[in-house]
Amino acid sequence: MNRNYGWVIVAAGGLMGCVAMGAMFSLAIFLEPISRDTGWSRAAISSAMSVNFIVMGLGAFGWGWASDRFGARIVVMAGSVLLGLALVLASRATSLAAFQVTYGVLVGLSASAFAAPMIATVMGWFTTQRALAVSLVSAGMGAAPMTVSPMAQWLVSEYGWRPAMMMIGIGAWILTLPTTLLVRPPPKAEPEIAAENAPTKPAGQSDEMWKALRSPQFIVLALTFVACCSAHAGPIFHMVSYAMVCGIGPMAAVSIYSVEGFAGLGGRLLFGIAADKLGTKRVLIFGLLVQAAAIATYVYVRDLKEFYSLAIVFGAAYGGVMPLYSVLARDYFRQEVIGSVLGAAMMLSCIGMAAGPLVGGWVYDHYNSYTWMFLGSALVGFGAVAIAFAFPKPARSSTA
């Protein structure tokens, strides 16, 4: 099979990831109109995003495991069907409990069907330029703030939040279902390469997976990922609300989110190219350091120009580091279990992601300010930098 087809897989993964992540993170756009329409508190609505992350984490491990055994196409097809259905059902929810189940549980479960399976598949298609390829898939996911978020804001302004959410669900079906047909498994490794990298006495796939998940490499990977996501989840989700608290209008506030997303695209490409040339660990540590410093700086930001400037730095940093965890994982573990490994790492990182929106909403409801959220997030971000220094060197002779 022509390995150039790998770039088609990259494009398919980027598009589906953009739709899925955009649909999930559009809750930040729906937050105020839902609260105004239903009387639910911001913390209660934000907790749906926390449920998203918890379910997405559990789903990531399950979907990653399924992709290792059944292939990525059937997994992303199931995720596509569920994504549109979840959004349509959430748009009709009349109680907070129903909204939590449909948007929190079902959207989170469907969104998790794309990242680990598609990134694992992409890495199987590439032996060189792997960091760039993974970064491009991640860039597609990062394009959501520039595409789905402005569209969601426009739809809400024109039609109200319920019709807007339903239309996004239908649009998700239209875009993702045909794209799943482009997904193909990676070509088999060359016999001599496979023989060189394989263990002398191969273990069963399940045994190898559990051995990988207990290894020091995975533990450090997971801890860094958790701390990184804990640091940026709250600031990302509450950025639009924070800007509006500072006196910036709704559309301008959403534009900050879009600038952040655009910078994230550039960060993914820049960091991906740099990782291929300079080493993944070195670039990851640099990005984590910039991310933590940027979060702390938000305490001093008030006007739109300052928001735009810092959004470029923050977006490039958190966007740039996210695909690097997958590249590091592939340096440590075999292709046959990489879907499960990525799924497990994403599952744990989602614990950190789940805390951000809920804690940020609680902080604002109790203190009428986001200051403590930014300071606490920055402290966790610097913790991620410290943990990242513990990454061991890849042992490709036994894990590749």
Task: Pick one of 3.40.47.40, 3.30.1360.70, 1.20.1250.20, 2.60.120.260 as the CATH number of 3-183+204-392.
Answer: 1.20.1250.20
- DSSP 3-state assignment of 67? helix
Statement: residue 400 has pLDDT above 60:
no
Q: Which two tokens stand for residue 180?
A: 């799943």
Which pLDDT does position 258 carry in this prediction?
76
Statement: residue 191 has pLDDT above 50:
no
* Average pLDDT of the residues in 303-330: 88
Phi and psi angles of residue 168, each rounded to the nearest 5 degrees, phi first: -65, -40
Nearest to 355 by CA among 377, 325, 322, 372: 377
Least reliable range by pLDDT among 186-190, 291-295, 303-307: 186-190
* Average pLDDT of the residues in 232-243: 84
- Residue with structure tokens 């898939």? 137
Answer positive or negative: Cα dihedral of 52, 360, 295, 251. Answer: positive
Domain extent listing, the chain: 3-183+204-392
- DSSP 3-state assignment of 114? coil
What's the rounded Cα separation, in Å, for the pair 137 and 321? Answer: 13
Q: Average pLDDT of the chain? A: 83
Q: Tens digits of per-residue pLDDT, 348-371?
A: 887 777 777 777 777 877 777 888
What's the rounded Cα separation, in Å, for the pair 315 and 148? Answer: 17
- Angle of helix 130-142 relative to helix 6-25, nearest 10 degrees, comes to 30
Percent of the chain residues past pLDDT 70, beyond the cut = 92
- Whether this prediction's pTM lies above 0.95 is answered by no
Task: Say if residues 105 and 55 touch (Cβ distance below 8 Å).
Answer: yes
Amino acid letter at 207? D
Answer positive or negative: Cα dihedral of 291, 233, 273, 270. Answer: negative
Which pLDDT does position 399 carry in this prediction?
40
Q: How would you label 287-301 residue by residue, b for 16+ Cβ within 10 Å and e otherwise?
A: bbbbbbbbbbbbeeb
- Residue with structure tokens 């019709």? 163
Which pLDDT does position 145 carry in this prediction?
67
Statement: residue 196 has pLDDT above 70:
no
